[in-house]
Structure 1
Amino acid sequence: MLTSSYPVLCTTDVAARAAFYREHFGFEAVFAADWYVSLRHPASSTELALLDAAHPSIPAGYGRPAAGVLVNLELDDVDAAAERLAAAGVPVVQPLRDEPFGQRHVIVRDPGGVLVDVITEIEPSPEFAAAFSGSAE
């Protein structure tokens, strides 16, 4: 039986990445070492971990910083988050906008280059509403 699942992002600067997610999204460290930090959000139990890409626990040839990854974080108020993130100098790579598939979102970049898609669900257009069946296929 599956008991947990969460992404682990390889990085060259565990401390900076951990600080980013704590400061800007309210995550708290539940385990912290210089090579690995496990983060959990206290309001939702969402988890994210950061691992030094050079750590010997990673098989040889696979220790590369995360790239091509999009971390989705759903919040109650993306407008307030977008304003707060921009004011804090977080790099915005896609400005706040509505999508017909049911999201209002802004995409920012974390210190290691991973994209963070900050989302508030909105009503999807009729074209996409039918795709929401309520069950995964």
Structure 2
Amino acid sequence: MTVLRIVSNLHAPDPQMAQAFYGDLLELDVVMDHGWIRTFAAKGAAAMPQLSVASEGGNNTPVPVLSIEVDDVDRLYARAKVAGVEIVYDITNEPWGVRRFFMRDPFGNIVNILSH
């Protein structure tokens, strides 16, 4: 048996509200939309399935529900600030080799945005 994909499912009273945050800000494509569920995916990404289980988010931060690696964390940080997205943990160079920040999505979830 081989795991082919891991998909995070976030509860949202109106999945269409996710478009501005996950579609527009993070530039993800809608790959499925049944009204009650909307699935976003990165363009052309062939990521290995991963699952993290954590007692904290590192540096005494809360555990984010999602970690999204991007090619330019500073660009996305600037876009999030302009869009008025709540920054939960400011942009930081971490001692384990990532640059990251946490932001809150429209449903209250903490999302870790990082670059290696």
Could you list the per-position Cα deviations for residues 61-120 of structure 1 after superposition, in whole angstroms to 9, with x for gaps in the alignment?
Answer: xxxxxxx65211111111111111101111111111111111111110000011111101
What residue is the counterpart of 2:88 in the other structure? 93
What residue is the counterpart of 1:109 in the other structure? 104
Q: Which has the higher strand share?
A: 1
| Alignment TM-score, normalising by the size of structure 1 | 0.67
Give the deviation of 1:45 after TM superposition.
4.5
| Alignment TM-score, normalising by the size of structure 2 | 0.77
- Residues 1-137 of structure 1 correspond to what in structure 2 (within 5 A)? 1=1, 2-45=3-46, 69-121=64-116
Give the deviation of 1:29 after TM superposition.
0.9
What residue is the counterpart of 2:58 in the other structure? none
Could you list the per-position Cα deviations for residues 11-62 of structure 1 after superposition, in whole angstroms to 9, with x for gaps in the alignment?
Answer: 112111243100111111111122111111114246xxxxxxxxxxxxxxxx
Closer, same or farther: CA 101–115 of 1 in aligned 2, 3 Å = same
Matched residues, percent identical? 27
Gaps of 5+ in 1: 47-67, 122-137
What residue is the counterpart of 2:59 in the other structure? none
Closer, same or farther: CA 43–25 of 1 in aligned 2, 3 Å = farther
Q: Which runs of 4 or more aligned residues in structure 1 lie more than 4 Å from their structure 2 counterparts after TM superposition? A: none
Match of 1:8, SS? coil
Larger gyration radius, structure 1 or structure 2: 1
Length, aligned pairs only? 100
Gaps of 5+ in 2: 48-62
